[in-house]
């Protein structure tokens, strides 16, 4: 189970270092990235992605909204691997989608992670909870 809020930075190649506390909880090195909600990027360990994908495929494709949702989720899906130093490469397309410049926040959400541009995340907190942590 992944929980917590972690800060990281994107390097010039679009990579970030997954925090050690998170890496120590992992049993896999293969992940899938995809578009999330509220301008976030989702990071699924491969087994969690496969479970999510199985659930997604059960939805009725004859429904226009379901088809649109599947396209948004699946068209941005990208397999990635944790490198030997614990970094993950974020594709340019997803960096642009999430408006990520350099500083990010990684949120543990039980079986996957959300990755936000720090400013976007702080704005989300301000708009939705009235809580804005000081940096």
Tell me the pLDDT tens digit for each residue of 51-107: 999 999 999 989 999 999 898 888 889 999 999 999 999 999 999 999 999 999 999
pLDDT at position 135, please? 56
Per-domain residue ranges of the chain: 2-129
Mean pLDDT of 19-28: 87
pLDDT at position 131, please? 56
Its CATH architecture, for the domain 2-129, is 3-Layer(aba) Sandwich (3.40)
Distance of CA 108 to the CA centre of its chain: 9
User: Taking phi first (over 0 means left), then psi (-120 to 50 degrees means alpha), and beta for anything else, what does residue 129 get?
Assistant: alpha
Q: Over 70: is that where the pLDDT of 133 sits?
A: no
């Amino acid at each position: 189970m992944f929980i917590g809020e972690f800060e990281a930075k994107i390097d010039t190649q679009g990579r970030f270092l997954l925090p050690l506390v998170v890496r120590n909880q992992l049993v896999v090195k293969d992940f899938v990235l995809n578009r999330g909600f509220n301008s976030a990027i989702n990071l699924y360990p491969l087994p969690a992605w496969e479970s999510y994908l199985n659930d997604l495929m059960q939805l009725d494709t004859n429904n226009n909204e379901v088809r649109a949702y599947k396209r948004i989720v699946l068209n941005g899906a990208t397999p990635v691997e944790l490198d030997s130093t614990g970094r993950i490469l974020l594709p340019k397309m997803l960096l642009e989608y999430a408006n990520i410049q350099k500083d990010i926040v990684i949120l543990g959400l039980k079986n996957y992670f959300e990755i936000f541009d720090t400013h976007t995340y702080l704005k989300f907190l301000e708009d939705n909870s009235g809580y804005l942590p000081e940096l």
